[in-house]
Chain A
């Protein structure tokens, strides 16, 4: 029995290792390609390890497009989205949990339904609406469609529900305003949920190509995913600078990798619990 158990565990390790290696290989390959000269990339024989190191590729990639500006655009619009969403989600979730109002159940159901509707199904009218107020090709255009988040309300509601209602009632008797209760009692208690929401939202919006591609075409407000996608379509053909493209790939993902490393605890918890409590 014990021997069989040990064998099972060994087999599990082997499977997990193979899968992990498979997952890591593309990531490893980006790094290898990014520091290789083009001749090494084009070589038809397999070189698993780099022989020459062209660190200069990172500098060349950075200078190939105004990446400084694109970084600013990406970070600025995403911080704005996250900040606004935290506020709106907090207010809405607070209302759902602590302020009984007629039809709150129905409203919550509507929000759940909205979660199922992706932007990709409604982007044409949103585009037209924003173009009427001249938001296309502006930071506002990148931010405004995401000021409210069904997912955010949903996630924070879960965090708020666990706060005892008696505490809130007591605060009200003491004359605290609703905003004060939210700011100094509810929000601090739901800190993990707030952090999770902020991190996940940042990652999603930082990574997404679709809306920025639709809503912008000027380089002034271009964000990183769009810039990366232009590598292929602009350069095109056989003189594609694969190594520079991979180098750009690497510095583009640095913010999300940092978030992943330092915020993993929150992200993992947020995702793992979303299904259980949902």
Chain B
């Protein structure tokens, strides 16, 4: 563990101070030059903002929607198991496989999405090939892939909320909505907190679906941080730049996690 997490983390700091193309025996020490270069680079800024947009988008959609579906599944309806199985299904599929499917669905001329839109007399865009739409398309596909996972996390949390507490609230005259906001939601805060952290990490890891569906394009509009690192390091062989970008990713994740833990301390209600 130490070998594969902490030593690399140290090594990456060292590499980020070099200019090196992986093959050359002599690497040139450039100090913080890579970082200066990185933050001045348009494509890096774009990758950073794409990743943040994707992250915010995923959190804003997946968490409330997952919670909503979990609440519905917690009502004890007939067929709950079937709904749950269907909705969780995509999570176990390889992102590559779903990426290929969605590439077909998104196709401008014969993709299912545009055919359905055409049926409603809407001329669908070239989803993956248009600057404004491609990131949205990746976001939608990612939501499809992960929705069931978040639903399951919240369902686990909901089933842990004590029924006695809810009953007591009902006896005290609270309606369903009041019970949800004042009893269920606070009791669910550990799950929410966990989901927030996992969702952030997942967003920052985004790579597979981008690699398959868009290759980071068009014009870098779907290039995520990880895709940028991969591209710099293993396509262009700028190891120093890639390592510096890895450092940014690492530091961002640490900061975000610590921030969330700190926030979590304040509003997570432990039983």
Residues of chain A whose beta carbon lies under 8 Å from any beta carbon of chain B:
9, 12-13, 15-17, 19-20, 22-27, 29-30, 33, 41-46, 110-111, 114, 116-118, 120-126, 128-129, 145, 147-148, 150, 203, 206-210, 213-214, 224-225, 228-229, 231-232, 242, 245-246, 249, 252-253, 256-257, 259-260, 264, 267-268, 271-276, 278
Does B32 make an interface contact (CB < 8 A)?
no
Q: List 19 A-B contacts (CB under 8 A).
A: A13-B79, A27-B89, A29-B101, A29-B104, A44-B109, A116-B197, A117-B5, A117-B9, A122-B8, A123-B8, A148-B1, A225-B96, A228-B96, A228-B97, A228-B100, A229-B211, A231-B100, A232-B103, A274-B156
In the complex, are the beta carbons of B105 and A26 less than 8 A apart? Answer: yes
B contact residues around A129 at 8 Å (CB) = 7-8, 11
A207 contacts which of B75, B96, B205, B233 (Cβ < 8 Å)?
B96
Contacts between the two chains (Cβ within 8 Å), count: 228
- Closest partner residue, chain B, to A263 (CB atom): B92
In the complex, are the beta carbons of B191 and A207 less than 8 A apart? Answer: no
In the complex, are the beta carbons of A246 and B5 less than 8 A apart? Answer: no
A41 contacts which of B3, B102, B110 (Cβ < 8 Å)?
B110
B contact residues around A45 at 8 Å (CB) = 115
Give chain B nearest CB distance to A119 CB in angstroms: 8
B contact residues around A268 at 8 Å (CB) = 84, 88, 152
Knowing A16-B77, A44-B109, A249-B100, the reply to whether A276 touches B191 (Cβ < 8 A) is yes
Give chain B nearest CB distance to A193 CB in angstroms: 15
State in angstroms the CA–CA spacing of A51 and B83 once bound together: 29
State in angstroms the CA–CA spacing of A23 and B146 once bound together: 11
Does B201 make an interface contact (CB < 8 A)?
yes
Beyond A120-B205, A148-B4: 12 further Cβ-contacts under 8 Å?
A23-B90, A27-B89, A44-B109, A46-B119, A117-B9, A120-B229, A145-B4, A150-B5, A228-B96, A228-B100, A275-B157, A276-B190
